Structure 1
Amino acid sequence: MNLINNHTIKSIVICFIVTAFYSCKDGNNQGDANTPAKKEFLGYVDTRVGTAASIADITVTEAEEPMGYVSPIVGNPSALTHWTPQTAKWTERIVTVPVPYWYDQEKIQGFRGTRYPNGAVVGDWGPMSLMPMTGEVVIEAEARASKFSHDSEIAKPHYYSVKLDDYNIKAEFTAASKTAFFQFTYPESKTSSVVFDGVYVPGYYKVIPEKNEIEGYTVIAGHFKNHFVAKFDKKFEVYNLDMLPNVVDANLVPEGFKAEYYNNDKLEGKPDVIVNHSELNYDWLKEPAKGVKADFFSARYTGTFVARHTGEHTFELTTKDGTRMYINGNMVIDEWKYRATGTNVHKANLTKGEKYEIRIEYYDGSSTTEMHLRCSEPVELDPKLGPQMALKGADGNAVYVTFATKDQEKVKMKVGTSLIDIAQARANMEEEFPDFDFKKAVAKGAEVWENELNMIQVEGSEDDKSIFYTALTKCFVNPRNLNEGGRYFSPFDYQVHEGNMYTDLSIWDTFRSLHPLWVIIKPEETTDIINGMLNTYKQGGWLPKWPNPWYRSIMMGTHADAVITDAYIKGIRGFDAELAFEAMLKNATEKGNRGFSGRVGIDYFNDIGYVPTDIFGFYGEPVARTLEFSYDDYCIAQMAKALGKEDHYTDFMKRSKRYINVLDKETGLVRGKKLNGEWLPPFDKSISVWAQGTDHDTEVYYKNHTLLVPHDIPGLAEFMGGDEKLVEYLDDFFDKDMYYVGDEFSMHAPYMYNSLGKPWKTQKVVRDMLAKYFFNDVGGLPGNDDCGQVSSWYVFGAMGFYPANPGDPIYQICSPVLNKVDINVGKGKVFTIIANNNSKKNMYIQSATLNGKPYNLSWFHHNDLMQGGELIFEMGPEPNKNWGLQNNK
């Protein structure tokens, strides 16, 4: 589905919605006299791009999948809570993921308040959902889901609308940073309702009918609560709480549960720790018992269940990661929830007085651990109990309210959220949407996003502008700002603090170009993010790595080093640089603890110069760790130099060369090395989970990883046998389509030609890739967007430059897709890039001028950008092999 066809229609709709605040003309809201007049770009954006499988021919291994993993997110940039339609709780792809929305699914289950990091493969922490309906209230998401047509959807970053066909309800909503605002247009019905649930976990709910409110919270890992307050502009006539089953405790398992814990994730060998639990109703932030590893352990729980009634019993098992449950030796639950929490249900007919052996096997991944076993017995409940408990406030699977509506009656509802408490959720709601004026709320959101998009104004084809502004929108969804009125609830010490905190930082991905983009156009918020990182260090002991919401022991390297260094050397200030350097040194010298993996294998890296494969094998990513530790050390060296710490600079520059220890002369590629110095066999698949699949898949992994040396291209070229040999490697690499743009290992690779004296090759490769992989289509992303990293890679390439080595204040020039780009770099300054005679055919730079003077470099300095000015390219159909060669290294 090419979305450009809907551009005009959607623009008209959006302009109509915000008519009281906007006119549909360029040039309104003039800003600084030196900056371009404000334009309107929301009409070009469709947030459904990336919600279907890529329509491009993607190079991808069996362990990956060319899916954007994004949803049509609504809410302010970096919102505490985003909102999106939910078509699924879980979806079976290569991994089972909790992505809320998939374009190819035919029903909407509700509208989710989500903290799923857009485009990633992790958990959705603290979600809630709500669903309007008519008729009998249905609690379970799949059963209540309604068919819908994509033709009825409008999907913008500030507004979403759809027709729920099964209920004949038009649902539309906008959202700010902490509050959503819904408007439901109902048919005539005596039983119009809205049901609320916690998506993956139960919640606490309380109905306050005299205020037209529902309040409550869901619990994440026992430490993080998603508090909410929902306020309607209509009186409730009926309300009810869907009660929770009882916890399986001593009343049902008299002798409790024997718990056997293993310090491996395969139940191998003898248990390392054996304890007894009276019930399984726990949220473990770290280890479940003394002597058990915090991550990647396994457990076996066994107990004897004694039925008190005859009939159907419903077991609900809420866990995380991998879980199997057996009753009398028969497996009844077998689930793997990848890095995420979920609830599995099993129904069984049991006989009063009979004993049933229950066994639960649990396989832990990273982060926290949940283990809750409940059972609903075949006992008829008092129908008055649900409403009574709703008024009192109680735990439940869901809560709902019902009222009568006239035909086409609009019912409005605001939902404020908070991680601090319910009072703060109510305050957030009243601050962001103080009244029930829906049109004004939509206009307010539109203004926020138009201001964001106007930071970069571009000219080009309508299709290119649609791709660009949709991508730019995705660059502003994450990281997540936890600030609530100057305070935040810390995921690292569970206290409320004043100051800054951000989470859902996919730093392993986003250090490459997302954060460098923010340095240019969001310098103040970059300062806030770094202060948030330093607060993480003070409260948790380490800089963040992939917080979601707290430390996760996933991915390699400690690339907060790169984010902080890149910002500092480009002039970002307002944070404690000495404290930052202290934290970076800790990354480079100490093993992780307190649930933080840090640089896994750092002791070996510092002792023998690489991470050995026989110590850190499959899943350990030892070769990648060696490469990435070397790069991080380069960044620490640059930070040391900027701070005048010459001894540290010299030391860490030496450390940055250790990547050479995993480059093998025999194969000319990276290769795993054992502790004793012996190489693994060439193309050994155990080097990484990403190297699995066919032999070609494995070769693709090796070829991409070999280029993971952005900080020392001359050194890599020397290993290859000289510049020309590395050029030949790159030519073969791209000609054979071995570059996987949907993952980040070698995102800088197309720009390496610039440093090797062949800038016209960079121009062609980047232009070809942008055309091949990115589209104004639901399948228009070439892989996981990873919190905006893939989209930011496109944004830079389309503008005509890229930060190929974060930590250096240098941008490599490519071939602009867009004819003109105006970048608002602040203080009334604009950096303009113009590509004259630009077209798909005319992709090569013939000549250039910078501020009116001839320019013959294939790169430019950050200072050139931030001072404002004009970089003009003359484009043509054939490469000018003499352009860009002056001091190309």
Structure 2
Amino acid sequence: MSKALNFLEKKESYQATGKKNMSLKKYVSGICLVAGLIYGCSDSGEEKQSELTNYVDPFIGTAGKGKTYPGATVPFGMVQLSPDNGRNGWDWISGYFYPDSVISGFSHLHLSGTGAGDLCDISFLPVSGKEKQTRLDSVSKRETVHSGFSHSRESAEPGYYQVYLDDYQVDVELTATTRSGLQRYNYDRTDSMAVRLHLGYARNWDWVTDSQLKVVNDSTITGYRKSSGWARDQRVYFYTVFSKPFSAFAISENDTLVSDVSEIRGKNVLGKFFFDESQGGEIMVKTAISSVSMANAKANLEDEQSGFDFGLVRKQALARWENELSKIQVETTEDDKIQFYTAMYHSMLAPITFSDVNGEYKGPDGSIHQADYIRYSIFSLWDTFRAWHPLATLLYSDRVPDMMQSLMGHYEEYGKLPVWNMHGNETDMMLGYHSLPVLADAYFKGQLGEDPVQTYEAMKKSAMQDEFGIKAYKELGYVPYDSLGWNVSLTMEYAFDDWCLAQVAKDLGKEEDYEYFMNRSKNYQNHFDSASRFFRAKSLSGNFRSPFDPLAYHPEDYAEANAWQYYWFAPQDIDGLIALTGGNQAFEKKLDALFETSQSAEETPVWISGNIGQYIHGNEPSHHVPYLYRSAGVPNKGEQRIRQILDELYTTQPDGLCGNEDCGQMSAWYIFSALGFYPVNPADGKYILGSPSVEEATIILPDNKSFTINAINQSKQNVFVKSVSLNGQQVSRNFITHEDVVRGGELVFEMTNQPDNN
């Protein structure tokens, strides 16, 4: 009891100071604390919450740069039922920003840390008494209905979220299944209970193009919301059932109330549903969605078969999370366990299930298609090809074939492999053709789930198209700054993707293609300037752009980075990059300078965060860099930097992610690095050795196999690796392979505080 009370005291201290002292997800009511129920006051009261889900804090990343959401979802679920603050702006990209103090609704779709302001579709809000309305920011053209709330009356765990709305005296609880969300409202004030559904709610990049609301009967509504923004043709159909009949309703379009009508269309549709206090103060709202039709949304709802048993749905969601989290069992400090299992949790928020129970979904061509596999969407490939997809081949290998078929389905319907796929749309966000490393990795690991020849042809088509500067790249060996921005980054990333394509070509016996794409994989060298010792933008005529400052952020040449940060992106040819730099010693000094060169006074873009000198952990191009020290023959320096990043740039606070979560990539880096290895080249099946922060970890593999990592003499001070053995044999190379892991066995690190033992 004293420990629980101490937790609440620390929580109150955080609210007073604005600094979080420990994880907030464990807030539960006083009754639960007295009873010692770890499960969190389940309706059934049957079982305690399992240990691993208890270490997940959904509030990590909801402040600062993380851009995560705290609401209810299941692993890779279609629905992400979460609160929205109702404001526009960078901080509210995911709908919710922890420092805020108001909530404007609970919507069913959210992005996890992407930096793109879209979704927040199908937004409900319970109200009582007079509605509180204010213009919440300078962007909003009209007042927003909202309520104040306090973090002292807010909690979350995997698959569950709860908050008390102060202005309407309503306790709100959210839980979810794969394709539906269930809300439970408990009104303390029962004389004027109502539920609002605002289909016109839109923030940031999103705007409504058409919507419809239809009242089916006194407890059922249905409709759709179509919008444009980042997803240019987004369609969300919904089917909602209330646990109790409403006594009256009102619907309006653009603030004009429509009387005696049960159906309305428009761009700012609002429905308000009133409930009689004689029915009691608890109302539940169950909503399923679909990208295809209202009929499919209804079928999705009926398929869940959970009724209005909120406790059961919550328990089932928690059990699904526990099952996934248990794929890795770690022994480490309590604080690091919270970080590790929250990272695992974040790694399963995308991609999302996109096909309905009957297999139908909206394709990127705008047509309705049907799949005999689970169709996934939201592939943030510029981010996730680096570590998330390799992690998926270890932890979520049962899902990878369907994900690869989803990439290929996109190709068959759209004519191109996806760049950044979102809700049945191609956004063309970011750069590269990074479906290629993802498909190549799955191919070599036996998880493709597709015809390899057809897959190869799709990969080759991406590499041989003329768009996005690729025509000039094919002709000149680089993308000139005369024709396109981000040109240096484009060339370097295309070169890596070409290497991936070459490996598949070789394996399929396509020798001519192999030679061609291997030659192209060296194109990154065409930007190297021997005078400045950096990769620089070149003109059509082959001249470097001047003036040049490697510290400056120039989006015309580098994608969300500067010349320092992009210097290291040649994971397909580390030896070549070292030679270009001047050998191991020069490469080591260059790496040292990266971490030691401070940023200039020039203001940096918002996505530049998590700085250690010019190393930027908050953005993906830097993620593999600490592991390059091992290739230069000085692994101890990389080990020290890896542990510094783990210790300083990940915390259990709401701002505990130093950059956008980016659909799991930030967390995938943490998981791999905490275990002691990382896929520097994410398509070669090798994991470069680092410095594990766990004491012990066991990865549960298919076929009753397991792979154990032991770190002997592990501590915060012992960050250096004295020796490594695999299944009792000394490891003399810099890496282990994917096959080493999936065969099962034991990897042992002997740790020390002496760097000269490497």
TM-score range, shorter chain: 0.7 to 0.9
Per-residue displacement from partner, 1:435-474 (whole Å, max 9, x unpaired)? 1111011001001111111111111111000011111111
Runs of 4+ in 1 over 6 A off after TM superposition: 138-141, 685-688, 697-700
Alignment partner for residue 46 of structure 1, among 32, 49, 57?
57
Tell which deviates more after alignment, 80-89 or 457-466. 80-89
Counterpart residue number, 1:193: 194
Counterpart residue number, 2:522: 657
Counterpart residue number, 2:69: 71
For 1:558 and 1:698, the matched residues in 2 are separated by 14
Per-residue displacement from partner, 1:98-130 (whole Å, max 9, x unpaired)? 43000111101111111x421112242471210
For 2:561 and 2:361, the matched residues in 1 are separated by 43
Once the two structures are TM-superposed, the CA of residue 407 in structure 1 deviates from its matched residue by 10
**Alignment pair present for 1:413 and 2:437:** no
Counterpart residue number, 1:173: 174
**Alignment pair present for 1:545 and 2:419:** yes
Q: Tell me which amino acid in the other structure corresponds to 1:814.
A: G
Given that residues 228 and 422 in structure 1 are in contact (C-alpha distance below 8 angstroms), is that contact kept between their aligned partners in structure 2?
A: yes
Once the two structures are TM-superposed, the CA of residue 139 in structure 1 deviates from its matched residue by 8.1
Given that residues 175 and 181 in structure 1 are in contact (C-alpha distance below 8 angstroms), is that contact kept between their aligned partners in structure 2?
A: yes
For 1:408 and 1:859, the matched residues in 2 are separated by 63
Alignment partner for residue 604 of structure 1, among 462, 472, 483?
472
Per-residue displacement from partner, 1:316-358 (whole Å, max 9, x unpaired)? xxxxxxxxxxxxxxxxxxxxxxxxxxxxxxxxxxxxxxxxxxx
Counterpart residue number, 2:106: 111
**Alignment pair present for 1:648 and 2:534:** no
Once the two structures are TM-superposed, the CA of residue 645 in structure 1 deviates from its matched residue by 2.0
Alignment of 1:29-428 (within 5 A): 40-53=51-64, 67-91=65-89, 98-114=93-109, 116-125=110-119, 127-136=121-130, 143-198=144-199, 199-200=201-202, 201=208, 203-210=211-218, 212-221=219-228, 223-244=233-254, 386-389=258-261, 391-395=262-266, 396-405=268-277, 409-428=281-300
Tell which deviates more after alignment, 607-616 or 140-149. 140-149
Q: Tell me which amino acid in the other structure corresponds to 1:614.
A: D
Counterpart residue number, 1:23: 47
Once the two structures are TM-superposed, the CA of residue 699 in structure 1 deviates from its matched residue by 12
Once the two structures are TM-superposed, the CA of residue 426 in structure 1 deviates from its matched residue by 1.4
Q: Higher strand fraction: Structure 1 or Structure 2?
A: 1
CA shift in 2, pair 1:406/1:752, >3 Å: farther
Q: Tell me which amino acid in the other structure corresponds to 2:349.
A: V
Alignment partner for residue 430 of structure 2, among 555, 565, 581?
555
Tell which deviates more after alignment, 846-855 or 830-839. 846-855
Counterpart residue number, 1:753: 629
Alignment of 1:487-636 (within 5 A): 487-499=359-371, 500-549=374-423, 550-592=425-467, 600-616=468-484, 620-636=485-501
Counterpart residue number, 2:20: 2
The TM-score with structure 1 as length reference comes to: 0.75
Please give the secondary structure, in 2, of the residue aligned with 1:631. helix
Please give the secondary structure, in 2, of the residue aligned with 1:133. strand
**Alignment pair present for 1:449 and 2:321:** yes
Alignment partner for residue 845 of structure 1, among 721, 728, 745?
721
Counterpart residue number, 1:803: 679
Given that residues 685 and 691 in structure 1 are in contact (C-alpha distance below 8 angstroms), is that contact kept between their aligned partners in structure 2?
A: no
**Alignment pair present for 1:471 and 2:479:** no
CA shift in 2, pair 1:509/1:392, >3 Å: closer
Please give the secondary structure, in 2, of the residue aligned with 1:566. helix
Counterpart residue number, 1:342: none
For 1:725 and 1:208, the matched residues in 2 are separated by 72
For 1:699 and 1:540, the matched residues in 2 are separated by 28
For 1:218 and 1:191, the matched residues in 2 are separated by 28
CA shift in 2, pair 1:468/1:22, >3 Å: farther
Q: Structure 2: which 5+ runs fail to align?
A: 1-18, 137-143, 203-207, 598-612
Per-residue displacement from partner, 1:616-638 (whole Å, max 9, x unpaired)? 2xxx2001011011001011011
For 1:511 and 1:560, the matched residues in 2 are separated by 8
Once the two structures are TM-superposed, the CA of residue 153 in structure 1 deviates from its matched residue by 1.2
The TM-score with structure 2 as length reference comes to: 0.88
Once the two structures are TM-superposed, the CA of residue 168 in structure 1 deviates from its matched residue by 1.1
Given that residues 239 and 387 in structure 1 are in contact (C-alpha distance below 8 angstroms), is that contact kept between their aligned partners in structure 2?
A: no
Once the two structures are TM-superposed, the CA of residue 22 in structure 1 deviates from its matched residue by 6.1
For 2:167 and 2:688, the matched residues in 1 are separated by 53
For 1:790 and 1:4, the matched residues in 2 are separated by 21
Q: Which has the higher contact order (CA 8 A, sep 6+)?
A: 1
For 2:90 and 2:382, the matched residues in 1 are separated by 25
**Alignment pair present for 1:878 and 2:743:** no
Counterpart residue number, 2:742: 866
CA shift in 2, pair 1:425/1:465, >3 Å: same
For 1:224 and 1:785, the matched residues in 2 are separated by 23
Q: Tell me which amino acid in the other structure corresponds to 2:227.
A: I
Once the two structures are TM-superposed, the CA of residue 141 in structure 1 deviates from its matched residue by 8.5
Alignment of 1:705-716 (within 5 A): 705-716=566-577
Q: Tell me which amino acid in the other structure corresponds to 1:445.
A: A
For 1:150 and 1:126, the matched residues in 2 are separated by 21
Once the two structures are TM-superposed, the CA of residue 155 in structure 1 deviates from its matched residue by 1.8
Once the two structures are TM-superposed, the CA of residue 409 in structure 1 deviates from its matched residue by 2.4
For 1:41 and 1:141, the matched residues in 2 are separated by 41
Per-residue displacement from partner, 1:505-538 (whole Å, max 9, x unpaired)? 1100000001110011111211111101111111
For 1:485 and 1:707, the matched residues in 2 are separated by 44
Percent identity between matched residues is: 33
For 2:419 and 2:134, the matched residues in 1 are separated by 36
Q: Structure 1: which 5+ runs fail to align?
A: 26-38, 54-66, 246-380, 593-599, 883-889
Given that residues 628 and 638 in structure 2 are in contact (C-alpha distance below 8 angstroms), is that contact kept between their aligned partners in structure 1?
A: yes
Counterpart residue number, 1:728: 589
For 2:365 and 2:247, the matched residues in 1 are separated by 42
Once the two structures are TM-superposed, the CA of residue 608 in structure 1 deviates from its matched residue by 1.0
Given that residues 569 and 642 in structure 1 are in contact (C-alpha distance below 8 angstroms), is that contact kept between their aligned partners in structure 2?
A: no
For 1:699 and 1:785, the matched residues in 2 are separated by 15
Given that residues 126 and 218 in structure 1 are in contact (C-alpha distance below 8 angstroms), is that contact kept between their aligned partners in structure 2?
A: no
Once the two structures are TM-superposed, the CA of residue 3 in structure 1 deviates from its matched residue by 5.8
Given that residues 613 and 687 in structure 1 are in contact (C-alpha distance below 8 angstroms), is that contact kept between their aligned partners in structure 2?
A: no
Larger radius of gyration: 1
Given that residues 514 and 788 in structure 1 are in contact (C-alpha distance below 8 angstroms), is that contact kept between their aligned partners in structure 2?
A: yes
CA shift in 2, pair 1:8/1:556, >3 Å: closer
Given that residues 113 and 661 in structure 2 are in contact (C-alpha distance below 8 angstroms), is that contact kept between their aligned partners in structure 1?
A: yes
Given that residues 714 and 723 in structure 1 are in contact (C-alpha distance below 8 angstroms), is that contact kept between their aligned partners in structure 2?
A: no
Q: Tell me which amino acid in the other structure corresponds to 1:133.
A: V
For 1:763 and 1:685, the matched residues in 2 are separated by 26
Tell which deviates more after alignment, 715-724 or 7-16. 7-16
Once the two structures are TM-superposed, the CA of residue 92 in structure 1 deviates from its matched residue by 5.1
Given that residues 623 and 687 in structure 1 are in contact (C-alpha distance below 8 angstroms), is that contact kept between their aligned partners in structure 2?
A: no
Once the two structures are TM-superposed, the CA of residue 189 in structure 1 deviates from its matched residue by 2.4
Tell which deviates more after alignment, 563-572 or 219-228. 219-228
Q: Tell me which amino acid in the other structure corresponds to 1:414.
A: K
Q: Tell me which amino acid in the other structure corresponds to 1:150.
A: H
**Alignment pair present for 1:782 and 2:646:** no
Given that residues 107 and 120 in structure 2 are in contact (C-alpha distance below 8 angstroms), is that contact kept between their aligned partners in structure 1?
A: no
Once the two structures are TM-superposed, the CA of residue 874 in structure 1 deviates from its matched residue by 1.5
CA shift in 2, pair 1:698/1:542, >3 Å: closer
Given that residues 469 and 479 in structure 2 are in contact (C-alpha distance below 8 angstroms), is that contact kept between their aligned partners in structure 1?
A: yes
